[in-house]
């Protein structure tokens, strides 16, 4: 696979979302046109120590033509061992996480903390390119708002080491997941690595057609990664790729039901329903449901209770952010 075919022009990519992008989640996105998706981030340490558990996170559906796997970690030995474990499976690419801001990751010097130590980050990235049999890519945040130079330095270093694609989240570690996205710095990265002929994917703040078009224009990147905008809203793939209209209430119900049913089939009812509550809450967000109805979702313990609750779903108001199409 050469670098150009990893992500073709105009690719719209579902971001890795820890705790979310399992197989049922990706299937839901794929039903609406998503092609490029990632399994849940795998921690190199847990992959090295309990490979079965780590690999379960990266289970691939037979129908999935493209699936990226992402690893986070800073310890060279664990990174090497996680490559060996992942090499036994089939993935479209291995992505190195240099952007995770979560305390338990940053505390260990991994994720966004590693991204800031450019020399060490490059050393670990080189190791992945040596041990992985998959094309290796990286996802990182901008390193500072002040100037593009540090972020560009990291990006060029990664490109020189043979990165097959770079995803830039236009926020810093301190910004976490909110606030303005620095498309200008993403653009500077794109220009700086142009000579390596690898795709640069812009990430941050895409939640609808306008924010998508703005990020494409301001970053100069045709390839976009979407994260929070896809949470509870797999229809965003149809909207951005095919100008598909939003779902009717019935279409929405069918999608939520199918998604949760697939979780039950994969994890068993008890475990699935525990995990599904946060997913259901995301589906409810911004759609005009009353607080009382949304709160009841936290109490759903069985699939039968869930189905009964879903049948009764009816928005109390027309939402401005994620309105239903009138069916």
**Alpha-carbon span 254 to 252, nearest angstrom:** 5
Which one of 204, 232, 234, 247 is in contact with ligand FMN (CB under 6 A)? 204
Nearer to ligand FMN, 116 or 139 (CB): 139
Answer positive or negative: Cα dihedral of 79, 85, 86, 88. positive
Collapsing DSSP to helix, strand or coil, 42 comes out as strand
Answer positive or negative: Cα dihedral of 118, 156, 133, 167. positive
Q: Judged by CB under 6 A, how many residues of this single chain contact ligand FMN? A: 21
Residue 169 near ligand FMN by CB under 6 A: yes
Which one of 46, 222, 228, 319 is in contact with ligand FMN (CB under 6 A)? 228
Which one of 227, 236, 273, 297 is in contact with ligand FMN (CB under 6 A)? 227
Residue 15 near ligand FMN by CB under 6 A: yes
Residues in the chain: 327
Nearer to ligand FMN, 235 or 310 (CB): 235
- H or E element that contains 95: strand 93-98
**Alpha-carbon span 8 to 221, nearest angstrom:** 12
Residue 135 near ligand FMN by CB under 6 A: no
Answer positive or negative: Cα dihedral of 201, 205, 208, 212. negative
CB of 52 to ligand FMN, least distance (A): 20
Nearer to ligand FMN, 85 or 175 (CB): 175
Question: How many Cβ atoms are within 10 Å of 117's Cβ, its own excluded?
Answer: 15
Question: Footprint of ligand FMN on residues 257-286 (CB under 6 A)?
Answer: none
Residue 182 near ligand FMN by CB under 6 A: no
Structural tokens at position 65: 């033509």
Edge-to-edge strand list for the sheet holding 12-14: 36-37, 12-14, 224-226, 200-203, 166-169, 136-141, 93-98, 68-72, 42-43
Map tokens 């989240």 to a residue: 169
Helix, strand, coil percentages in the chain from 3-state DSSP, rounded to 5:
50, 10, 40
Nearer to ligand FMN, 105 or 198 (CB): 105
Residue 322 near ligand FMN by CB under 6 A: no
Which one of 54, 157, 229, 232 is in contact with ligand FMN (CB under 6 A)? 229
- How many Cα neighbours within 13 Å face the side chain of 273? 13
Residue 177 near ligand FMN by CB under 6 A: yes
CB of 278 to ligand FMN, least distance (A): 9
Which one of 206, 215, 276, 284 is in contact with ligand FMN (CB under 6 A)? 206
Which one of 18, 46, 222, 275 is in contact with ligand FMN (CB under 6 A)? 18
Question: Footprint of ligand FMN on residues 85-114 (CB under 6 A)?
Answer: 97, 99-100
Residue 17 near ligand FMN by CB under 6 A: yes
- H or E element that contains 68: strand 68-72
CB of 181 to ligand FMN, least distance (A): 7
**Alpha-carbon span 253 to 236, nearest angstrom:** 16
Cβ atoms of residues 234 and 34 within 8 Å: yes
Question: Footprint of ligand FMN on residues 23-62 (CB under 6 A)?
Answer: 41
Which one of 116, 139, 164, 182 is in contact with ligand FMN (CB under 6 A)? 139
Residue 203 near ligand FMN by CB under 6 A: yes
**Which residues form the interface with ligand FMN (CB under 6 A)?**
15-18, 20, 41, 70, 97, 99-100, 139, 169, 177, 203-206, 226-229
């Amino acid at each position: 696979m050469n670098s150009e075919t990893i992500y073709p022009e105009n690719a719209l990519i579902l971001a890795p979302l820890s705790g979310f992008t399992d197989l049922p989640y990706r299937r839901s996105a794929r039903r609406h046109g998503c092609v490029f998706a990632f399994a849940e981030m795998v921690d190199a340490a847990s992959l090295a120590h309990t490979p079965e558990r780590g690999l379960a996170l990266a289970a691939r559906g037979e129908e999935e033509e493209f699936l990226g796997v992402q690893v986070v970690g800073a310890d060279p030995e664990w990174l090497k061992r996680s490559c060996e474990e992942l090499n036994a499976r089939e993935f479209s690419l291995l992505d190195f996480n240099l952007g995770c801001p979560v305390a338990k990751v940053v505390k260990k010097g991994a994720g966004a903390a590693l991204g800031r130590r450019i020399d060490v980050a490059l050393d670990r990235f080189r190791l992945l390119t040596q041990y992985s049999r998959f094309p290796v890519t990286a996802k990182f945040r901008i390193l500072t708002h002040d100037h593009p130079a540090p972020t560009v330095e990291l990006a060029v270093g990664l490109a020189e080491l043979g990165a097959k694609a770079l995803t830039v989240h236009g926020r810093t570690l301190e910004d976490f997941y909110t606030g303005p996205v620095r498309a200008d710095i993403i653009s500077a990265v794109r220009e700086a690595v142009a000579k390596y002929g690898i795709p640069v994917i812009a990430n941050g703040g895409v939640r609808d057609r306008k924010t998508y078009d703005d990020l494409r224009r301001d970053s100069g990147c045709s390839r976009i990664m979407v994260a929070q905008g896809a949470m509870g809203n797999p229809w965003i793939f149809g909207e951005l790729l095919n100008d598909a209209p939003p779902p009717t209430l019935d279409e929405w119900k069918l999608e939520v039901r199918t998604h949760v049913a697939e979780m039950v089939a994969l994890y068993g009812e008890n475990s699935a329903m525990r995990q599904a509550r946060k997913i259901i809450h995301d589906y409810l967000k911004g759609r005009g449901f009353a607080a009382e109805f949304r709160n009841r979702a936290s109490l759903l313990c069985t699939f039968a209770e869930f189905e009964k609750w879903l049948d009764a779903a009816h928005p109390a108001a027309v939402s401005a952010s994620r309105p239903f199409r009138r069916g």
